[in-house]
Every structure is written in C-alpha cells, then in structure tokens.
Amino acid sequence: MDQEMSEINAIEITGLTHRFGERTALNDLSYSVRRGEIFALLGPNGAGKTTTIRLLNGLYSPSAGSIRVLGFDPQTQGQEVRCRTGVLTETNALYERLSARQNLHFFGTLSGMPGAELRSRIEEMLTFFGLQSRADEKVGTFSKGMKQRLALARAVLSRPQILFLDEPTSSLDPESAQQVHELIRSVGQQDGHTVFLCTHHLDEAQKLADRVAILNAGNLLALGTLEELARQFNPGLWVNIDLAQPLSAPLALGDFRGVVQVKQAEQHLEVQVESEKVIPALAAELVRQQAQLLSFQPNKVTLEQIYFQLQENVREGKK
C-alpha cells in the first residue's frame, strides 16, 4: 500500500482468502476501513468475523491475498500492529483475582507504558468507564457489564489507533449493552480511534457504525453506509400519511413520477416511492390535490430489512 493510502485507510484488505483445510472461511475479500470511522463487520455465526480479526492481528496467515493494518503487514510486522491496536474479544481475558486497578496496571505495564503516565491514565479510564468506586475490588465480584467495561478500558488504555471489538455485548443485558454502546461511541470520537466492530446484532451495527460490511459464509454481500445499502438493496420507501378529513375523491397518483404504488383508506394513505428524492414533490402534490395532511412520515429503512433482503437474495441465488 502506498503512503497516501495508509494515511486515508487504517486497514486495507485485498483478495483475502482464508481456508481451514477444505473449508473456506473467507473467500477473496477486498475492502478497506478508513481512519477514524466505526466500521462494523456483520454476519451470522460462522460468517468469518473472528477469523478476520485474527488475520488482522497476525494470529493466522492468509491462504491468499494481502492485509495492511496502519501500513504494516500483520504477518511479518505483528509486533508493530499489536502495539498500535487494542482488542476486545468475547472472552474478556481479565484476571478475576486482581482488582480493576491492578488489572489495568498489569496490562499497561505489559504494553510498555511508563509508570507515571500509566498511573494517571488508569485513573482517567476508571472514571471514564464508571469503575472508580469499585476500583480496588476483585474483578471476580463484578457483574458481566462491569467486566466488559473494564475489558474495554483495558483495550483502550494505551491509546491504540485501532480498536478491534469482537461481539462486545454478546453476553450483556440490554442496559449494560447500551452502556457499552455509548462508551464505544465516545471512544470512537476520542483521539480519532478507528473502531473495527464484529457483531451479529443488527441494531448494534445500525446504532454505532459509520459503514457496515455484511458477510455470509465468507463472502462479502454488501458494504456501505446504511443509506447507500438502502439505495442499493431496498429501493422502495414507504410513506405513511394521515389525513385530517376523509378524501372526497381518491388521489390521482398513478402517473406521478417516482411513485411505485399507493394504498388508500379513508383517512390513511401508504405511498411507496422510489427514493427519498421523491418525497418533497409528493408532499407538494398531495397539498395540490387538497389532501388535508395531519401527518406525513417516511419510514426509514432499517439495517434489519436490508440484511434479510440480502439473505433472501443469497437463498434465491441472486448473488
């Protein structure tokens, strides 16, 4: 990768294939992750998410293709990669018999942080992750949510440029998951961290990610922002309209440019349009036809709709 690309992209993956014996876990993938973005790799069990994180950290060597993390090859420059990245895996790898503060001290020392800087960073992290009041208690007494917050503190302690998160909320209740989401978002905004998040939770990816890559059985089905994916895979958009008065005559929208179909009831309309661009003109047309608008609500496409559309495409052999 040339210098310019490594300044824009934190991660560059080109033609990446990984096989375990006969099984192909990743099949000829090419994509990049930009510096400073939260990038979600989304896919069902066995899609290849953990394998990707291990390859990016130099724990596996690819069967084919190339990887660059911050311009380094994780295979031959693993140490360079690991000292600039933080990892949070499903198992949090904390010492249960040590306190929160001792855990952070241990891992910070391991990563070579100088003593004075480490001590002040530990206090900053304990406060930021809401663990200050339990800092000297053994981690074995912590709830899962607290352990995960501490594991996240550990992962960002040495200010890594890239944070790898593998299913960071998989064992948490909704409240703790939400806390961890908020922390991931603020970690992403701090220090320009790049976050590479692997998850099978659609709402997690939708809430956090700037861009999403959808993986299935080692193949990349789609990649983009939610808006881009919506345009590409779910072009129809429904607008729900409530009227203050029943229509005196049905609205004439059949020939209106960009309208796909219309469902009309007395005081309620559902109009499917080709894209968001049609919406202002549609609203103007309704007013022109003297519809008494009470509410006008385009339904945002969710990642869930896109995801299931893609799975259906796969089943029907469209992709």
116 burial level (CB within 10 Å; 0-12, 13-18, 19+): exposed
Smallest gap from Cβ 146 to ligand ATP, in A, equals 23
> From CA 50, how far away is CA 25, in angstroms rounded?
10
> In whole angstroms, how close is the CB of 267 to ligand ATP at the nearest point?
46
Q: Give the nearer residue to ligand ATP in terms of CB position, either 84 or 200.
A: 200
Which SS3 state, helix, strand or coil, does residue 32 take? strand
* CB atoms closer than 10 angstroms to residue 88: 24
CB of 128 to ligand ATP, least distance (A): 28
**Closer to ligand ATP by Cβ: residue 198 or 291:** 198
Radius of gyration for the chain, computed over Cα atoms and rounded to the nearest angstrom: 24
Q: How far is the CB of 28 from ligand ATP (least distance, A)?
A: 15
| Tokens describing residue 269 | 């309309």
Nearer to ligand ATP, 42 or 241 (CB): 42
* CB atoms near residue 71 (< 10 Å): 18
Contacts with ligand ATP, residue ranges (CB under 6 A) = 20, 23, 25, 43, 45-51, 200
Helix (H) or strand (E) holding 261: strand 259-264
Choice between 49 and 193, CB closer to ligand ATP: 49
What is the smallest separation between the CB atom of 47 and ligand ATP, expressed in angstroms? 4
Q: Which is nearer to ligand ATP, 222 or 278 (CB)?
A: 222
In single-letter form, the type of residue at position 265 comes to: A
